[in-house]
Amino acid sequence: MRLACEKTTALGAIIGLGALSMPFLLMKENRVALGEPYLYHSLPQGPHVLLPLTLLVLSLAAAFLPQRSAVRAGKIVLGQLYLAVMLTALSLAGAVLVAPEAFGRVSPSSGFWLAILAAYILIQGSLKNAQVRYSLRVLIGVLPLIFAGGLFLAGLLDSLAVVMEFANRQARFMSELTTHLYISLTAVGLATLVGVPLGVLAWKRRHLEKPVFGGVNGLQTIPSLALFGLMIAPLAYLSRQFPVLRELGVRGIGNAPALIAITLYALLPITRNAYTGLAAIETGVIDSGRGMGMTRTELMRYVEVPIALPIILSGVRVSTVQAIGNTAVAALIGAGGLGAFVFQGLGQGAPDLIVMGVLPIIALSVFMDRGFAVLIAVLTPPGQKDVHSD
Amino acid sequence: MIEFEHVVKDYNGITAVDDISLELSAGKICVFIGPSGCGKTTSLRLINRMIEPSSGTIRLDGTPVSKIKAEQLRRGIGYVIQSVGLLPHMSVRENIGIVPRLLGWDRNKRAKRADELLELIGLAPAAYRDKLPHELSGGEAQRVGVARALAADPPVLLMDEPFGAVDPLGREALQREFLSLNRELKKTVVFVTHDLDEAIRLGDRIVLMRDGKIVQDDIPERILGTPHNEFVREFIGADRALKRLSCFTVESCMHQAAVLEQALLEDGKPPADLEVNGTGTLWIVDAGAVPVGMCRRSDGKWGDVRDVRAEELGVKTLSSLRDALSRLLGRGLKAVPVLSDGNRLVGEVRLTDIEAVNQSDGYV
């Protein structure tokens, strides 16, 4: 008899096994020290290595079973348990390791990150193509986050370098997070206000299609750093010439050039999708709408907006994720935001500070992306569902 | 009634419609036909002001359409196009309810009207009202398109190649249905097509156009029988005798059929002393009057009873003589049964009838 193997699960389990043979965490005497690596089995405290090993072997075995829903559920539970074991080990071992050192701290290392990847593959691989309710999917996805958040709030992750960096900058963290959100969301808002009319214009006036897309495409090809740089000189000049602008906070560096540059970047996906969304409406549909006696406004309300809106929103979604990333770079020209921590960490050679800046950026991107996915799903009329499902 | 008075439409020096004057009478189907670019679609779209004329006047029941607000005018005129143009995000019921919605009908009234119309076009409301356009076949979508145009009961229907995208079999069914529908509804229909058979089958009147001008404006029989010039002759083609048969419905020359109920067969044969007139064909029917067999009498004797499948062999009362002829020749019969909606036998058409019609104007 031929053995059927579910490859995704097998891959996840093998990566998980590999993770156990790599440095699990680094013990550092202070924030810039290189640190001493510890493998999982040499940790002074935490669940015995046989526990994660057993979970992974069971997952591997499950890969060779027929993929019934019970087996899938089992794999998800194994993945979640594996993740929980890793977090617990990090917490318990960290606490023991840093106790004797005044400035001691631990950082997760390659083994830990690989373990996260392995768990992700195990869990998501089992969810793929499975008939699982959306709410259950979300719960499975956020369960590890809730567990990690619980550990953090209970003070059980205080030995982690990232947490220490955070504890030292709590007030600033909130203000940088706000700045980050402010810059990226304002930019996307502005880009929507400009980009949607541009897309509509390109659709209505065929001769403007080329110049409009030539423009927004061209903007996209300029590297973000270069565009930030390009903004400095003209804005500094304008700000010196017009005191009004200076009072509004427009200077060569800071918020203003960042906002402008990120807005320009956000234009392309929004403009393109506005155009595509409208172009996707069959001419017959518009013709029959007019022929039935719809006014300009009614045509927009009953035909153009319902059909094009989901596509326009997916453009805004792409732009938002992009803008959150670009805002990180904007810290370089003094705009602030979470990127400030990243560059500070780079400057000080403190990798944990970098991680502290990067983690919330990733979280923001994922959160916005999922938020838009839900919004689009809600706003997509039933007849269009198959056209752009996510 | 729709009147065209010296209507001209120019597009940057190209004249699409060149000084057309016409009067289209109420309750009739008038077909605009001609090669592509002849101005037939432009003429149609001038009526509901989808296109504005360069000069001239179009009147609807005496009022120039330019005096009526375009949207208001269009809401009072049914509009069906080749691509149907059902709104893809709305259910069949919502699509049918669009014009009523624009006119401010409440939800219940719209829903009731949609069900009525689905019934009328032969789609079961319970099965179809909640379907989305992409779940419909081409023929079904086009039926819904017609229903949508009829929703607010407009006196005038504009149809721009409405059945052009449907396969030939489906198109014939649609044409037949539309014909019987309009016998009941008596809408003033302006119909654009490039398919002569369709024009002949549907039109009470055919307006043949070329280069923006009317070449011949006549009833179908005369267009085929007495073409005005070489262009018309060419457009009609060499098979005009055959096409002419499309002008006549089976109804117009059907005969009473000789019928015997199945139960009265004796040893599988009709009674030996039973005589029939005409072609000597006897139709054997079941208790519901549906033909199940046929039998020919020759030399005073009955032949064997042949099994017959009514829906395959029979024609409908509104089918064309051309249809009937094709079945007669295809089966090598002297007569075919004419069926009502429930496949009940209501008469027969004979080969001799068709010959008589064909010779009635001297064409051979």
ipTM: 0.73
| A292 part of contact set with chain B, CB < 8 Å | yes
Query: Per the CB < 8 Å rule, is A292 touching B98?
Result: yes
| A283 part of contact set with chain B, CB < 8 Å | yes
Contacting residues of A for B85, CB less than 8 Å apart: 282, 284-289, 291
In terms of residue numbers, what domain contains B329?
251-359
Do both A262 and A227 map to the same domain?
Answer: yes
Please state the rounded mean pLDDT for residues B328-353.
87
pLDDT band at B251 (very low <50, low <70, confident <90, very high): confident
CA distance to A104, A165, A325, A379, B80, per residue, from A270 (Å): 48, 37, 16, 17, 35
In terms of residue numbers, what domain contains A194?
170-384
The pLDDT score that the predictor gives to residue A84 is 93
Do both A23 and A75 map to the same domain?
Answer: yes
Instruction: Look at residue B243 and tell me if it is in a domain.
Output: no
Distance CA(A257)–CA(A227), nearest Å, equals: 9
Instruction: Look at residue B245 and tell me if it is in a domain.
Output: no
Do both B289 and B319 map to the same domain?
Answer: yes
Instruction: Look at residue B244 and tell me if it is in a domain.
Output: no
Rounded to a whole number of angstroms, the distance from the CA of B289 to the nearest CA of chain A is 44
Instruction: Look at residue A310 and tell me if it is in a domain.
Output: yes
Show the tokens assigned to A353.
């500070």
Query: Per the CB < 8 Å rule, is A383 touching B132?
Result: yes
Do both A195 and A285 map to the same domain?
Answer: yes
Rounded to a whole number of angstroms, the distance from the CA of B73 to the nearest CA of chain A is 7
Last residue of one domain, picked from the residues B238, B261, B288:
B238
Instruction: Look at residue A86 and tell me if it is in a domain.
Output: yes
Instruction: Look at residue B246 and tell me if it is in a domain.
Output: no
Cα–chain center distance at A323: 11
Last residue of one domain, picked from the residues A160, A182, A212:
A160
- Residue % of chain B over a pLDDT of 90: 48
Instruction: Look at residue A248 and tell me if it is in a domain.
Output: yes
Give me the CATH number covering residue B286: 3.10.580.10
Query: Per the CB < 8 Å rule, is A291 touching B50?
Result: yes
Do both A152 and A186 map to the same domain?
Answer: no
Do both B149 and B23 map to the same domain?
Answer: yes
Do both B205 and B140 map to the same domain?
Answer: yes
Rounded to the nearest 5°, which phi and psi values hold at B339? -115, 150
Query: Which of B75, B90, B91 has the CB atom closest to A293's CB atom?
Result: B75
Last residue of one domain, picked from the residues B188, B204, B238:
B238
Counted domains in chain A: 2
What does DSSP say about strands B258-261 and B281-285: parallel, antiparallel, or unpaired?
parallel
The pLDDT score that the predictor gives to residue B36 is 87
The pLDDT score that the predictor gives to residue A168 is 87
Instruction: Look at residue B170 and tell me if it is in a domain.
Output: yes
The pLDDT score that the predictor gives to residue A372 is 92
Show the tokens assigned to B20.
């057309």
CB count in 10 Å sphere of residue A248: 11
Do both A80 and A214 map to the same domain?
Answer: no
Instruction: Look at residue A390 and tell me if it is in a domain.
Output: no
Instruction: Look at residue A335 and tell me if it is in a domain.
Output: yes
Do both B35 and B175 map to the same domain?
Answer: yes
| A221 part of contact set with chain B, CB < 8 Å | no
Does the pLDDT of residue B210 top 70, yes or no? yes
Point out the residues of chain A with pLDDT beneath 50: 387-390
Counted domains in chain B: 2
Instruction: Look at residue A81 and tell me if it is in a domain.
Output: yes
- Using only the alpha carbons of chain A, give its radius of gyration: 26
The pLDDT score that the predictor gives to residue B296 is 86
Q: What is the pLDDT of residues B296-305, one digit of tens each?
A: 888 878 888 8
Last residue of one domain, picked from the residues A139, A160, A181:
A160
Count CA atoms closer than 13 A to A134's CA, side-chain side: 6
Do both A97 and A174 map to the same domain?
Answer: no
Does the pLDDT of residue B185 top 60, yes or no? yes
Do both B142 and B191 map to the same domain?
Answer: yes
Does the pLDDT of residue B13 top 90, yes or no? no
Does the pLDDT of residue B294 top 70, yes or no? yes
Do both B225 and B265 map to the same domain?
Answer: no
Do both B115 and B215 map to the same domain?
Answer: yes
In a mutational test of the A interface, the residue from B89, B98, B129, B131 whose CB has the highest number of chain A CBs within 10 Å is: B89
Do both B40 and B141 map to the same domain?
Answer: yes
Closest residue of chain A to B83, computed from CA coordinates: A284
Contacting residues of B for A293, CB less than 8 Å apart: 70-76, 99, 102
Closest residue of chain B to A293, computed from CA coordinates: B71
Instruction: Look at residue B326 and tell me if it is in a domain.
Output: yes
Summary count for chain B: helices (H), strands (E): 15, 18
Give me the CATH number covering residue A341: 1.10.3720.10
Do both B136 and B35 map to the same domain?
Answer: yes
Do both B222 and B267 map to the same domain?
Answer: no
Do both B164 and B264 map to the same domain?
Answer: no
Do both A14 and A142 map to the same domain?
Answer: yes
- Size of chain B, expressed as the number of residues it contains: 364
Do both A190 and A46 map to the same domain?
Answer: no
The pLDDT score that the predictor gives to residue A384 is 67
What does DSSP say about strands B213-218 and B205-210: parallel, antiparallel, or unpaired?
antiparallel
Of B176, B181, B163, B77, nearest in space to B120 by CA: B181
Instruction: Look at residue B364 and tell me if it is in a domain.
Output: no
Q: What is the pLDDT of residues B310-333, one digit of tens each?
A: 888 888 888 888 888 888 888 888
Do both A41 and A156 map to the same domain?
Answer: yes
| Burial profile B5-31: b = 16 or more Cβ within 10 angstroms, e = fewer | bebebeeeeeebbbebebebeeebbbb
Last residue of one domain, picked from the residues B184, B209, B238:
B238
The pLDDT score that the predictor gives to residue B361 is 58
The pLDDT score that the predictor gives to residue B364 is 35
Do both A218 and A123 map to the same domain?
Answer: no
Distance CA(B178)–CA(B192), nearest Å, equals: 14
The pLDDT score that the predictor gives to residue A53 is 93
Query: Which of A282, A292, A306 has the CB atom closest to B83's CB atom?
Result: A282
Do the Cβ atoms of B40 and B209 come closer than 8 Å? yes
Cα–chain center distance at B69: 32
Do both A152 and A192 map to the same domain?
Answer: no
Do both A153 and A180 map to the same domain?
Answer: no
Q: What is the pLDDT of residues B104-149, one digit of tens each?
A: 999 999 999 999 999 998 899 999 999 999 999 988 999 999 999 9
Instruction: Look at residue A165 and tell me if it is in a domain.
Output: no
Instruction: Look at residue A91 and tell me if it is in a domain.
Output: yes
Last residue of one domain, picked from the residues A117, A137, A160:
A160
Do both B200 and B257 map to the same domain?
Answer: no
In a mutational test of the B interface, the residue from A286, A287, A288, A303 whose CB has the highest number of chain B CBs within 10 Å is: A288
